Structure 1
Amino acid sequence: MALTPLTEPLGFNRASHLLRRTVFGATVALVNEFAALTPQQAIQRLFMDELPDPELPIDPATATEWIESGTTDANSEGFELESYFLRWQLGLYLAPKVPEEQKLAFIFRERLVFFLHTHFTTKKSVVGNSRALYFQNALFRKFAFDSYLEEELNFKSLCKKITVDNAMLRFLDGRLNVKGNPNENYAREFLELYTIGRGLEGADKDSQGEGDYGTFTEQDVQEGARVMSGFDIDNTFSNIDPDTELPTGSVKGNGQTANQHDNDPKTLSYRFGDATITPDPDLLLNGNATPESALDEIQQLVDIIFDQTETGLHIARKLYRFFGYHEINESVQAGIITDLATVFRDNDFRIQPVLEAFFTSREFYEGAAGVTDDSYGSIIKSPIDLVIGQARSFELELPDYIDEYEAFYEASGTLLSRIDDMGLAFYEPYEVAGYSAYHQFPIYHRSWITTTYLTQRYAFVQYLNFNMMNDLQLNMLSPIEYVEKFIDDSIASNARLLVEEVCRHFLPLSNSIAFEDNSSELTNERLLYFLDAFLNTFAIDENPEEAWNFRWTNNVDRETVSRQLLDLFNGVLQSPEYQLM
């Protein structure tokens, strides 16, 4: 199975599928707009150059930013600033203060920032510095739409820059890695998680013995650590990378020499052709390592790693699992994954062309023939997907994060706590490898669903519909306002047609649905379940469907109408089907 371009208009179901997986979801009006577009036209709306950078978060203690200016005794405590950063980042998923024509691309860029965070993971409790977290976040934003970057900047160069990123130097102990006493933590994760990986999970790795992981060996970890030795955190954030114009780490030394960098040659294993990394004599100072020569050695290592076919396959698998489906067998590896890896390599190791190829392929929307390989509903929504997707569907508006920062932090903090309740501790993954859903073979995103987490998902739906507007005074559509705005009266007045339409708006469907239709993607029993939740909660009507038609058509008994629609939306949004995208 390989990539096949899709050129016809998307239609409603495909458009909904694309928007759920790229921008967390959308209103039905936007889905209808995208339905008339071809995939090629649609992704032009998602990838956009020259997007605005978000304004810096505000510290309520000083009523000003603290990221660029630094902190003083007047600022909030460090843990509070970390919390404000996280709430600010979550709020960006709803694109506040962004012109309408740029909102979709802005949100998609933030989704890619989140993808890069799941790939190059960090933990706020280990980093312990909101400014370091912010600047790493800004680095990911810089590289999210990498087709628009200068020629020398791509995913490969991001791998070099993340190596000396201040947050990463703290998280994986790079600051403790010095000549004569190498710390291998980062080098191991760099190989296993960030670049070449350990091959297709569940497949034979052709290991040659202990310390051989199929794509790299223990020798490569040790030599890689020596390559990366001698760097330190810059707590002043004044050491600026000229490529990104963002703060980066520094070298241990006097500024001219890198006296804690291992300056001897490093030889990799047979997995990398016994390649040797040596300092460039033109970059040394009287034979001593310099910041330039130390960075050049990292570049040599990155070049060698990316020369391996398996590196492209590993990155392609990560992208496929995030946006497509977690299960990759040898057939998928030989087809879609190999095609995506080829696009990655042919486009100088940029991820934007890979996603463009994937999002315009028939396989992204349809998979193979039959019900066992279908893209629709193949990913369990992460807590962020669930919360932000529902907020976008009901046009939730957060307070202005600059002018109303206290109300903004209260609202986004409430959303963040709900996400935490569902099992995603934002910027605090349980494992050094990151959130289990994005790396843990073989369950991957199925780890989002436990008895406790599912209960919290259902509770969030009810909270959003019942309480959130009253508690936080937020603007968002109620179920009755949603129906009045997005569903035609001729459909809304017919209880069965209304159930079908609400399911069509919110559930991941590839085909049509209808009562008494054997080809319907939702069974008649399932649709009757939603109808019963909608009409028969109180069993007050002899003929509930006729009573509904009368109330809606004549605009009477709005209290009952509102309650019935609330029951319908709760029934659909608390269903197992709604947990999928």
Structure 2
Amino acid sequence: MKAIKFKISMALTPLNENLGHYRAAHLLRRTVFGANQSTIDAFASLTPTQALAQLFKDGLELPLPPIDPNTGTEWMSTGTTDANSENFELENYFIRWHLGQFFGGLSAEQDKLAYIFREKLVLFFHTHFTTKRSVVNNSRALYFQNQLFRKFAFDGFLPDGLNFKSLTVKISVDNAMLVFLDGRLNVKGSPNENYARELLELYSAGRGLEGANDNTGTEGDYGTFTEQDVQAGAKVLSGFDVDNDFSTIDPDTELPSGKIKGNGTIASQHDNLPKQLSNRLGSIVIEPNAELLINGEPTRESAIDEITQFIDAIYGQEETAKHICRKIYRFFGYHEIDEARQNGIITDLAQIFTDSNFSIQAVLEAFFSSLEFYEGNSGIEDDAYGSIIKSPIDLVVGHARKFEIELPDFLQNADEFYEITGFMMNKISDMGLNYYEPYEVAGYPAYHQFPIYYRGWITTSYLTQRYAYIQSVSSGMMDNNPITVMSPIEYVEKNIDFDLAANARDLVEEVCKHFLAVSANIAFDNTTSELSEERLNYFLNAFLLSFDIDEDPESTWTFRWTNGVDRETVSRQLQDLFNAVLQSPEYQLM
């Protein structure tokens, strides 16, 4: 892994010691959709630098494309024929295939953590550069955009000049994006401003810190850009079309990209006149590079060069780096960004982002090795710090990985693979996240909607679905459930010391430490415990009292466990304990 080549400011306090169990669990919950206990135990002895080396790896294999069960082959590189499934089915296969990548796909065991973390970043890019499958209506376009995100996930290993800023250029002429935000309709003389507006407002500069006074005093001034910039940007972005053959290949990424409207050489629908940006973007004039023109006429190269100039101007203002870093912070850290955080960690991360030539990997390496990621910092008093409510994907995939569910090989057993991942995707949708179908262009509300953010995952209906899923999957009682999950008794036998499990209170503490985000200090009869004695007693009573109300329940548990008797009752008691813990409000956090 490349060393961090920038200086972390004093406000972003680096960690110097081993992670320990709490920090290891925290890091893995946030980066790899949870992890089994043996992985957490192994991670706990690592220093931050060693941990990052396992998350960021150069040379990871790319996932093989999804398979169409109708043909038994992939269709992304070859295109479709009449023998292939219907388009909506292929879209479903792509989405279910991507869910499978969150489990590690077919990666080697030693690369699995880095592989899954890369997919977490692909998910982040998707929540940032949003796309809707119902609008794009093309599984290949969705897949190649997904591959584009994967290409830029670990940008610290890419050649110089390929980074988050250059990804912003690439996404501007991506086939799926050209459809989604009407870039294909944007032509000389009749500019379509849809993408230019969202590029500025959502994907780059943003409109400033939510809830803060932007101090704009002029009509059409959004604080970070103006209507003049939207209009000029639309002209800069004009002249591109969707390449339905996916034969126009970007030389940097070797992935399909949009094509120019014209004869293949001259971009006849690109506005070739100078474009004046406002003072918000430095009053820069964007002009075509004469060396890239042919007889004074625009080409694909000259049009992309103009887009690059436009993106450079946007990233030239300080607020753009802050906007991107706020999105990163909310995705991996915490949703609330008050004045202290804005002036502290966000400013520091934005400086790292700028100094590293807009490398998202540099920002994440600094953030994940800082005290702020794990514990907050002086001057910030917030006992909910770091408590992100699990998204439905985090909940479903994290639960499955914690219980070591293995998916079938999608190359060898596509039907079963799609059945299981389809079941999971349906449950994720029931919980409020209809993957690749965000409600609005800004994306999934929980990632952007001020001031609610992640609390948007928790409505009465969605919470009921979350609780029902965990209980029914864990107990194996859900109708049409194709998932085989480790039972609670199997989990305890595999992951918790036998003698420790013989003590009911010790067992309750240990199960809470394994599954709950508030796990740094959990103990009965301890006033500093992160879980109150009342909460621990609630789990203890759920565990014991339904079976032994007229006996000494703790001694009876010890006898059954130690002597291996009445295994059916032991299994049912552990089922009750796990149900109570996994359906608790605390389990909804990560």
Tell me the TM-score range normalised by the shorter chain. Answer: over 0.9
Checking the alignment, whether the CA contact within 8 Å between 2:261 and 2:267 is kept in structure 1 is yes
Checking the alignment, whether the CA contact within 8 Å between 1:366 and 1:374 is kept in structure 2 is no
- CA shift in 2, pair 1:371/1:352, >3 Å: closer
- Distance across 2 between alignment mates of 1:451 and 1:565: 27
Match of 1:52 in 2: 61
Where do residues 178-189 of structure 1 align in structure 2 (5 Å cutoff)? 178-189=187-198
Segment drifting more, 102-111 vs 2-11? 2-11
Amino acid at match of 1:24: F
- Distance across 2 between alignment mates of 1:377 and 1:32: 21
- Secondary structure in 2 matching 1:402: coil
Deviations 1:202-232 (A, max 9, x none): 1121212221100000110011000000100
Which of residues 556, 568, 577 is equivalent to 2:577? 568
- Distance across 2 between alignment mates of 1:267 and 1:374: 48
Deviations 1:513-571 (A, max 9, x none): 11121111111111110011111224465111111111110111111111111110010
- Distance across 1 between alignment mates of 2:390 and 2:175: 31
Is 1:109 equivalent to 2:109 in the alignment? Answer: no
- Secondary structure in 2 matching 1:239: coil
Match of 1:335 in 2: 344
Q: How many residues align?
A: 581
- Distance across 2 between alignment mates of 1:527 and 1:73: 60
Deviations 1:98-145 (A, max 9, x none): 111000000000000000000000000000000000000000000000
- Secondary structure in 2 matching 1:204: coil
- Distance across 2 between alignment mates of 1:355 and 1:273: 29
Checking the alignment, whether the CA contact within 8 Å between 1:368 and 1:374 is kept in structure 2 is no
Checking the alignment, whether the CA contact within 8 Å between 1:26 and 1:392 is kept in structure 2 is yes
Match of 1:99 in 2: 108
- CA shift in 2, pair 1:535/1:15, >3 Å: same
Checking the alignment, whether the CA contact within 8 Å between 1:166 and 1:234 is kept in structure 2 is yes
> Shift of residue 473 of structure 1?
5.5
Checking the alignment, whether the CA contact within 8 Å between 1:468 and 1:474 is kept in structure 2 is no
Deviations 1:472-526 (A, max 9, x none): 5545321101000000011111111100100011111253111121111111111
Match of 1:412 in 2: 421
Amino acid at match of 1:176: L
Deviations 1:411-468 (A, max 9, x none): 0000000100000000000011100111111111111110000000001101211227
Identity within the alignment, %: 67
Is 1:309 equivalent to 2:321 in the alignment? Answer: no
Amino acid at match of 1:175: R
Checking the alignment, whether the CA contact within 8 Å between 1:220 and 1:269 is kept in structure 2 is yes
Which of residues 300, 305, 329 is equivalent to 1:296? 305
Is 1:7 equivalent to 2:7 in the alignment? Answer: no
Deviations 1:260-286 (A, max 9, x none): 111111001111121100111111111
Checking the alignment, whether the CA contact within 8 Å between 2:419 and 2:482 is kept in structure 1 is no
Is 1:238 equivalent to 2:247 in the alignment? Answer: yes
Is 1:259 equivalent to 2:282 in the alignment? Answer: no
Amino acid at match of 1:522: L
Checking the alignment, whether the CA contact within 8 Å between 1:223 and 1:268 is kept in structure 2 is yes
Name segments (4+ residues, structure 1) moved above 4 Å: 374-377, 468-475
> Shift of residue 375 of structure 1?
6.4
Amino acid at match of 1:40: T
- Distance across 1 between alignment mates of 2:53 and 2:117: 12
Checking the alignment, whether the CA contact within 8 Å between 2:340 and 2:380 is kept in structure 1 is no
- Secondary structure in 2 matching 1:80: helix
- Distance across 1 between alignment mates of 2:178 and 2:315: 22
- Secondary structure in 1 matching 2:60: coil
> Shift of residue 331 of structure 1?
1.8
Match of 1:537 in 2: 546
Is 1:462 equivalent to 2:443 in the alignment? Answer: no
Checking the alignment, whether the CA contact within 8 Å between 2:188 and 2:270 is kept in structure 1 is yes
Match of 1:322 in 2: 331
Amino acid at match of 1:527: L
Match of 1:152 in 2: 161
Match of 1:350 in 2: 359
Match of 2:410 in 1: 401
Amino acid at match of 1:333: Q
- Distance across 1 between alignment mates of 2:589 and 2:123: 19
- Distance across 1 between alignment mates of 2:76 and 2:546: 52
Match of 1:228 in 2: 237
- Distance across 2 between alignment mates of 1:210 and 1:382: 38
> Shift of residue 96 of structure 1?
3.0
Match of 1:435 in 2: 444
Checking the alignment, whether the CA contact within 8 Å between 1:6 and 1:39 is kept in structure 2 is yes
> Shift of residue 254 of structure 1?
0.3
Where do residues 358-507 of structure 1 align in structure 2 (5 Å cutoff)? 358-369=367-378, 372-374=381-383, 378-467=387-476, 471=480, 474-507=483-516
- Secondary structure in 1 matching 2:412: coil
Checking the alignment, whether the CA contact within 8 Å between 1:27 and 1:392 is kept in structure 2 is yes
Output the TM-score relative to the length of structure 2.
Answer: 0.96
Which of residues 185, 195, 208 is equivalent to 2:204? 195
Where do residues 57-76 of structure 1 align in structure 2 (5 Å cutoff)? 57-76=66-85
Amino acid at match of 1:80: E
Deviations 1:45-82 (A, max 9, x none): 10001111111100011111111110011100000000
- Distance across 1 between alignment mates of 2:501 and 2:378: 34
- CA shift in 2, pair 1:517/1:542, >3 Å: same
- Distance across 2 between alignment mates of 1:9 and 1:3: 18
Deviations 1:328-366 (A, max 9, x none): 122211110111011111111110010000000011110
Unmatched 5+ stretches in structure 2:
1-9
Deviations 1:138-169 (A, max 9, x none): 00000000000011211111000000000000
- Distance across 1 between alignment mates of 2:547 and 2:506: 21
- Distance across 1 between alignment mates of 2:492 and 2:58: 35
- Secondary structure in 2 matching 1:42: helix
Checking the alignment, whether the CA contact within 8 Å between 1:377 and 1:580 is kept in structure 2 is no
Amino acid at match of 2:408: P
Match of 2:4 in 1: none
Which of residues 510, 521, 538 is equivalent to 2:530? 521
- Secondary structure in 2 matching 1:289: coil
Amino acid at match of 1:512: N
- Distance across 1 between alignment mates of 2:296 and 2:231: 23
Which of residues 548, 554, 561 is equivalent to 1:552? 561
- Distance across 2 between alignment mates of 1:471 and 1:390: 18
- Secondary structure in 1 matching 2:438: coil
- CA shift in 2, pair 1:541/1:393, >3 Å: farther
CA RMSD of aligned residues (A): 1.4
